[in-house]
Amino acid sequence: MTESAQDGEYDAWLDSIESDDGYYLECSNGHGWLPPRRVCPRCHDQDLSAVDLPESGEIASHTTITVPTPQFEDDAPYVTAIADFGPVSVTGLVRDVDPDDVTIGDVVGIDVGERVTTGDRAVVFRPR
């Protein structure tokens, strides 16, 4: 992955998270999505605008993964969670907390970190 081309708007979005300038795309009816999106899959609206991502979200669900893919071999065990940021939810790795202490409803901030096994960038959540 490190040698290959960038993934357009996805990597640009990661850059924005990394520089504390995170955003999501919102349609006229308030549905939130992450890029790349040209249309809201819920209401077909194509008028999507970039809106600041809230500074903190809440863990909606989480799992501690002990049987990883080879790309996460040295990361395991690790916590993958979906965090709810209001109109948009994001999937990421939970860091800086004992996996046994992660709970639904925990408030987290979003950042970009490194995957242990490959050094690739990944979305990470940390308790706030």
Partner 1 sequence: MSDPRIAGASVTQFGKHPERTGRDLFAEAGLEALSEAGIDPDDAEALYYGNFMGELAEHQGHQGPLMAEAIGLDVPATRVEAACASAGTAVREAVKTIRNGEAEVVVVGGAERMTNIGTAAATDALAIAADDLYEVRAGMTFPGAYALMARSYFDQYGGSHEDLAHVAVKNHEHALVNEHAQIQKEITVEDAMEAPTIASPLGLYDSCPITDGAAAAVLTTESYAEEHDLDAPVAITGTGQGGDNLALQDRPHLAQTPAADKAADEAYGDAGVGPDDVDFAEVHDCFTIAEVFAIESLGFYERGEGISAARNGETTRDGDRPINLSGGLKAKGHPVGATGVAQLATVAWLLDGSHPRADAVPDSTVGVAHNAGGTVASTTVHVMEVRE
In terms of residues, how long is the chain? Answer: 128
46 binds Zn ion (CB under 5 A): no
Q: Is 24 exposed, middle or buried (0-12, 13-18, 19+ CB in 10 A)?
A: buried
Segment 75 to 104, residues that bind Zn ion, using CB under 5 A: none
Residue nearer to partner 1 on the CB measure, 5 or 67:
67
Q: Which stretch binds partner 1 (CB under 8 A): 15-23, 43-51, 71-79?
A: 71-79
Q: Which residues touch 128 (CB under 8 Å, ≥6 apart)? A: 55, 56, 107, 108, 109
Residue 6 makes contact with partner 1 by CB under 8 A:
no
Q: Which of Zn ion, partner 1, none lies near 61, with the C-beta cut-off 5 to 8 A by kind? A: partner 1
Positions that interact with partner 1 (CB under 8 A): 7, 10, 33-34, 41, 60-73, 75, 78, 80-82, 88-93, 99, 104, 115, 120, 122-123
Positions that interact with Zn ion (CB under 5 A): 27, 29, 31, 40, 42-43, 45
